[in-house]
Structures are given as C-alpha cells and as structure tokens.
Amino acid sequence: MPIKSVWLGLNFEEAALDHTEESYASETYAVELCAREKAHLSVFLAAPIFKIPGMVPGAGLFPMANAPADEVNANRRMRAEEAQRRIAGAVKSAGVATEFCIAQESYPLLREYFVASARPNDVIILSRSGYYLSFDRNMIEAMLFTSGRPIVIVPPDWERGARLEKVVIAWDGSGRAARAVGDAMPMLTRAEQVEIVYVSPGAFRSFGPPRTPLQEK
C-alpha cells in the first residue's frame, strides 16, 4: 500500500523548546520517509498563544502587563519560522514536495486545527515530549482518539531514520482493533517484524489459536 501523504506536527511552546533535538528527530524522520516513499509532506507548526489571565496580548489598559506575553508569543512565532526555513532546506535537498502552515492561536483552536489538518493524510508524525504538561502530550492524545489515522510518535533521541524495525499489535478481537490494523497497514507492510499480542480471552476465540507447523502443512 503506497504512502502518498505524510503530515508532520510541531509545537513551539517553551516546554518543548528545551529539547530542540526532539523536533529535529521528528523532522528528520518525516523528510526521510517522504523521500523514500516519494510522498508529499505537510508541515503544521503550532505556536500557542500565551495569555496572562485577564489580559489580552498586544492590547488593553496595561501595556506593561502585556509585555511579557507579547515577548513569549513573538519568540514562539520566531522559532516556528526558523523551523520552517530549516525544513524547507532539508526537503529541497531531498526532493520532497512540501507545504507549510504556521498557526498562532489558543490551545483549544490549535487542537482542532491539528486534527482537521492531519486527518486527510496517510500517516501522521508527532514528536514525544518529556514534559508531562506539554501541549505535545495533549496533542498526541487528541490525535490517537480523534484523527482516525496511523500515527508515528518519534522519541527525542531517535537517530536511526525512518525505519520500522519491530511492530507490536495489541489485539482484543474488537472491530476497533480490526480497523486500527487496517488503517496501519501502510506501516505494517514496511516493518521488518510484526508481532500480535492477545490481550483478552475474547481475542483468542475470535482470532483463532496460533497454528502449529503440523496444522500449517
């Protein structure tokens, strides 16, 4: 099954920016995957708006109170633009067709934009943040439960490129499990090894017992 479109989501709030290699790892993975599959890459760069409670960034009766928020938001936007230039250079060298979108909105709106933008693509790529309260973690959860697409979550220390070595399928015999496997088939067919783990007695009954060499003959 061909992979024709890949979506990469990056976040530029301060919690994620302390680990810049995390973003680089997911960027590298996405560019390498698209180059290998000759796929189109869509890059969504989120710069969440930081807002002091009771204040409106860039306006209001107390401009000095808004100044810290304006500075944070300008920094987030600047880093998103830097990432766009960095990725643009990488995809140009790799010959990958790419489109970019930088969005600076509130967290709830960015969550909606992330899901809506990613859903039409074959594969979603996200980075894994080390911060418990990071926007990245909330976005991963939203994507898992609402995007309906296969997701690759790239660890911050990943250095082996766009490889799928070993994939584990958690099977419970349900329709949702069957749909998840079907949606992930573009990735499963490219894995070096795939294992199925039965997670309930019902899964064993519906999927059937493992075949022995004698039965296979």
Q: pLDDT tens digits, the chain, 217 residues: what are they?
A: 789 999 999 988 764 444 444 458 999 999 999 999 999 999 999 999 987 765 554 555 455 456 688 888 999 999 999 999 999 999 999 999 999 999 999 888 988 998 999 999 999 999 876 554 456 677 888 888 888 888 898 888 888 888 888 888 888 888 888 888 888 888 888 888 999 988 666 545 555 555 544 444 4
Per-residue model confidence (pLDDT) at position 127: 85
Check whether residue 118 and residue 180 sit in a common domain: no
What amino acid is encoded at 136 in this protein?
Answer: D
Residues 170 and 149 in one domain: no
Q: 27 and 130: one domain?
A: yes
How far, rounded to the nearest angstrom, does the alpha carbon of residue 215 sit from its chain's CA centroid?
42
Q: b/e string for 115-132 if b means 16 or more Cβ within 10 A?
A: bebbeebbbbbbbbbeee
Exposure on the CB side of residue 199, measured as CA atoms within 13 A? 10
Please check whether residues 14 and 76 belong to one and the same domain.
yes
Interatomic CA distance for residues 77 and 179, integer angstroms: 38
Q: What is the pLDDT of residue 144?
A: 84
Which residue range(s) make up the domain with 182?
Answer: 164-217
pLDDT of residue 202: 56
Residue 21, pLDDT score: 43
Q: Which residue has the tokens 């936007």?
A: 77
Helices marked H in 38-134: 63-94, 107-118
> For residues 57, 62, 65 and 67, what is the CA-based torsion angle, rounded to 10 degrees?
50
pTM of this structure? 0.78
Residues 152 and 52 placed together within one structural domain of the fold: yes
Structure tokens at 101: 């979108």
Retrieve residue 53's tokens: 């409670």
Interatomic CA distance for residues 102 and 77, integer angstroms: 8
* φ, ψ at 19 (rounded to 5°): -125, 70
Backbone dihedral region for residue 63 (phi beyond 0: left; psi -120 to 50: alpha; all else: beta): alpha
Same domain, 26 and 61: yes
- Verify that 108 and 211 share a domain, yes or no: no
- Identify whether residues 19 and 123 lie together within a single domain: yes
120 and 198 both lie in a single domain: no
**Co-location of 143 and 176 in the same domain:** no
Q: Which of 33, 5, 42, 10 has the alpha carbon at shortest distance from 156?
A: 10
